[in-house]
Structure 1
């Protein structure tokens, strides 16, 4: 009421949690912060594996990606360079040779860094996801923002997805 909060959002909530919270709010929930990176894609995997009998077909988040898109909730991708909750970055990590080779290949093609390509991958998704990059290094921020000036092709997006170890049916 005093104007100190302009917008409301949540973090790591599934659709039913959001619906329950909305029942008690006058304001709209317009943001959900969810973990997403090239190597952490469960909200995307389930959509590719509908009616399949494999692990990626298991819907663990109650279709949060689709819910947010249908309800005009912006997804903010936290930890876009991480491969787990606290395990560290996958970019430049020897444990992820295929995805890093593809990141490097595309970085050379577009004359940017591999981190820029990792952000461009998120920005290419049609849900208009906003990455939360978690850096205060101005040079890195300048570099990463170059992702907004480029668009990976669909083929490149899928090549990165598959290089991260994801299978397509």
Structure 2
């Protein structure tokens, strides 16, 4: 080992895929980059809808959220403002009026942007998810990063979750 790589990770792997790679790699896998945002909540939904028969109860990712927590693997959330897979952003999108109204209410309350609230929502999850921001504009990064200084209450977190069309069984 030349020491050129300090940490190893994967992207979009489920637990069994992580285990397969880990079996062939002496370095511990420390990161799994996964799509996660207010409008991409499958990892959370499946845990809330345990033992239910609705679509949200379907485990699409092999329980990677719990696996990562149990194995001290950091989840890095890519596309934190995305809805669908590559459909666009939900921020200021007319298709999501209830969500944007809730984001704006909290943005006004905390003196930040809706982007910052979307980031704060991800960071509030107890799995200590990291956010991957991609942009060509330094101002956009600073605007979104302001969410790291906001700690939403549990009720605010759920209000955003519900405003995005999610529910509790």
**TM-score normalised per structure 1:** 0.98
CA shift digits 1:88-121 (9 cap, x unpaired) = 1011110111111100110001010000000000
Cα deviation for residue 55 of structure 1 reads 0.6
Structure 1 CA distance, aligned partners of 2:142 and 2:156? 23
Aligned pairs (5 A) from 1:106-121: 106-121=106-121
CA distance in 1, matches of 2:162, 2:30: 31
Contact kept? 2:117, 2:150, Cα under 8 Å? no
Superposed CA RMSD in Å reads: 0.7
Instruction: Quote how far apart the aligned CAs of 1:147 are.
Output: 1.2
Q: Would you say how many aligned residue pairs link Structure 1 and Structure 2?
A: 169
Query: 1:49 aligns to what?
Result: 49
Equivalent residue number for residue 134 of structure 2: 134
* Structure 1 partner of 2:15: 15
Q: How does 1:10-159 map to 2 (within 5 A)?
A: 10-159=10-159
Give structure 1 regions of 4+ aligned residues with deviation exceeding 2 angstroms: none
CA distance in 1, matches of 2:87, 2:147: 25
2:82 and 2:145 map into 1 onto residues whose CA distance is 18
Using the TM superposition, give the Cα deviation of residue 24 of structure 1 relative to its aligned residue in structure 2, in angstroms. Answer: 0.4
- Deviation of 1:136 after TM superposition, in Å, equals 3.1
Instruction: Output one character per residue of 1:22-76: Cα deviation in whole Å (capped at 9) or x when no partner.
Output: 1100100000000000011000000100111111011111100000000000000
TM-score by length of 2: 0.98
The match for 2:3 is: 3
Classify the secondary structure of the residue corresponding to 2:31: strand
Unmatched tracts of structure 2, length 5 or more? none
